[in-house]
Amino acid sequence: MTDKHRHTSELAAESTKNRNDLSCSGEQCSCSTATASPFRRRGAAEPGTDAAGTNSGTAAPDAPGNGAAGDNPAAPGDRDAGADRARSLQQLARIAGSLALLGVAWFAGDTLLHAARIAVYLGAYLLVAWPVLRAAVGNILHGRVFDEMFLMTVATLGAFAIGEFAEAVAVMLFYTVGEYFQDLAVGRSRRSIAALTDLRPDTARVLNAADGSTQVVSPEEVAVGQLIEVLPGERIPLDGIVVSGEGGVDTSALTGESVPRMVEPEDDVAAGYITEGGRLRVRVTRPFGRSSIARVIELAQHAAERKAPTERFISRFARVYTPIVVAIAAAVAILPPLVLPGAEFSEWLYRALVVLVISCPCALVVSIPLSYFGGIGGASRRRVLVKGATYLDALTELDTVVFDKTGTLTKGVFTVTAVEPRNGFAPEELLRLAAQAESGSTHPIARAVVAAYIERYGELELSELNELREEKGFGVFARLGEASVIAGNHRLMHREEIPHTDCEVTGTTVYLAVDGRYAGYLVVSDELKPEARTAIAKLKRLGIERIVMLTGDNRRIAESVAHELGIAEVYAELLPEDKVALLEELQEDRAAGGRVAFVGDGINDAPVLMRADIGIAMGGLGSDAAIEAADVVLMDDGVDRVPAAVEVGRRTRAVVRQNIAFTLGAKAVFIALGALGVAGMWLAVIGDMGVALLAVFNATRTLRVGRDESHGRRPAKRR
């Protein structure tokens, strides 16, 4: 990489970009701010259709929602569950009815008239075959002739024509049983994704500031700036700022954090949080369509619509495979009677029908999309939202992962990490003086200093604070009793001619002097996420050897963080456009067939997220622009979700390959046996449905790979 990228303009640390007036980061004493230009989102793959013209079982889940937490029987998510149960009961009723009639025809057939026996078989057949017959006719009318519905219709009607009534019923019966288990699997996958989206509030209580009255309206009707009231136990319907009231809120729906978070006036709250005590009045800061919960719902709704390359291949394969199979079956029925002496047409027609039954491609057409749908559902259980099967598949090809630093590998929260007294001052005294001097500032670094003292030593006494003045670009001046205290960057120390020797400090530094005497310094840092080191190690164990960190932070801080995490390649002091240029160079250097992922959270990361092969954004602390630009969203900001997503993608692809190899191999064997007359209709039915069921059951394993191995880990706390 070029020096241009390693040392692009002298930027202050991203973690201190708003602290122009008070801080000094090592030798850097000035900062500039870069604003990302708007970028257009690159096009996403269009949803495809399978051989039957459907979405292959991968239709996106509906947008469920509810109002008050846990108490909305009319929620769309509940209605979906009710519809699934009704469909399952209907299928079971049809299966039971068909089995009963088949039993009557089988065991009492000799006592029935031939016409009555045919009528009983026909009733058993229609109970399970009617949906297939209707779909086959509908597809033919729309120009889609050769699909699995067509194959089963021709095979079973042909079986009826040659008098194999029981076999015809059995084909449709086993198919319906397979559909029943497939629906159970799809429903389970849908519920895993819906668990992230079954959060939508139905109502908002708008407060009339003039008379204190409230009006219940739809969240979409509430304008930015209006006041809403949220009662204990209710779900907050829109993003906003607390105006009055305090109490705990359950944020687990969005962040995964099990411990309630305390909020008070001036704190931000997001739609989807549940109040756990205390009435809150919230001023709305975003319309519902742009709220946190609406974003999650939209992402999950469209997650299953983008097909993976393997899914698109299977859809194309089925459209070519089916007419070829029909031609083979026709050849089996027609050619042998013409060329083989003594060959009977009825026997070879039966064998052709067996070939048609065996060759049905439903095992592939159903199990491959179901595998990806299960993988997306499994990822959601790990609080990873993958925006489509395309990106789940792409995760398996990663060979380079590029991380942003602030808010991604670090918490994005300032903390005092070092208190270094000089000239006889004690650590407690140095921190107390700094906190008292900074107490009048609202800057994040000043707040971090005050918070550090309160956390370590208790209440901060401010009775001695007589005077406080802040000077932009340098620091603060305070009078505490008879003492004069200054706190700021090293330029302030030099200007005030305070002798000190600590200018070569790694990190954002606040220096202090009391009555002209140097008292020491504090280092204010952005803490590493506790899981960051483990996440990097896991990625390396997964075979992703090239891990890179790009940041706008100063070089000394960036190299220190990279060294602590075990990242060998780091580029610092970058503008957003420099990150894009570097990413493009990394893409040129990647191995053939490899992919480059970028993990970031800020608005200035949006261009890089869009340019990367796979953009991964933090969904909790992340900006709207980053989340919109990303292909994968980590819902709780845990960076260890990155290797988890890779694992889910790889296991999903493994299941897909297993299903393809097993299904095609089994089909080839059974087709050969059917053509040779070894396999009859019953074996064909059992073989075809058995293969389909085994493929479906194997596909459901992708849902289980989402069981959270980090269960019990407390996610990074939102502040």
CB 64 within 8 A of CB 76: yes
How many Å apart are CA 552 and CA 16, to the nearest integer?
Answer: 11
Other C-beta atoms closer than 10 Å to the C-beta of 289 total 10
How many Å apart are CA 552 and CA 404, to the nearest integer?
Answer: 9
- The H-assigned helical ranges of 458-575 are 490-495, 532-541, 555-565
| 274 DSSP β-pair partners | 235, 250
CB 522 within 8 A of CB 489: no
CA 314 to each of CA 137, 325, 372: distance values in angstroms, whole numbers, following the listed order: 23, 15, 13
CA 361 from centroid of its chain's CA atoms: 31
CB 208 within 8 A of CB 254: no
How many Å apart are CA 353 and CA 333, to the nearest integer?
Answer: 8
CB 557 within 8 A of CB 13: yes
Return the SS3 of 291: coil
The residue whose two tokens read 């084909």 is 171
Strand arrangement of the beta sheet that strand 247-250 belongs to: 261-263, 247-250, 274-275
Angle at alpha carbon of residue 612, lines to 607 and 616, rounded to 5°: 85
Catalytically annotated residue among 80, 147, 250, 404:
404
Q: What is the 3-state secondary structure (H, E, C) of 345-387?
A: HHHHHHHHHHHHHHCCCHHHHHHHHHHHHHHHHHHHHCCEEEC
**How do beta strands 569-571 and 546-550 pair?**
parallel
Mark whether 183 is an active-site residue: no
Return the SS3 of 616: strand
Q: Which two tokens stand for residue 695?
A: 């493929």
DSSP assignment string, 392-437: HHHGGGEEEEEEESTTTTEEEEEEEEEEEE-TT--HHHHHHHHHHH
How many Å apart are CA 250 and CA 232, to the nearest integer?
Answer: 11
How many Å apart are CA 340 and CA 354, to the nearest integer?
Answer: 20
Angle at alpha carbon of residue 59, lines to 54 and 63, rounded to 5°: 145
Angle at alpha carbon of residue 642, lines to 371 and 699, rounded to 5°: 10
CB 470 within 8 A of CB 440: yes
Q: How many CA atoms lie within 13 A of 102 on its CB side?
A: 22
Which residues does 669 contact at the CB level (< 8 Å), separation at least 6?
none
Q: Single out the residue of 101, 59, 67 nearest to residue 83, CA to CA.
A: 59
Q: How many residues does the chain have?
A: 719
Residues designated catalytic? 404
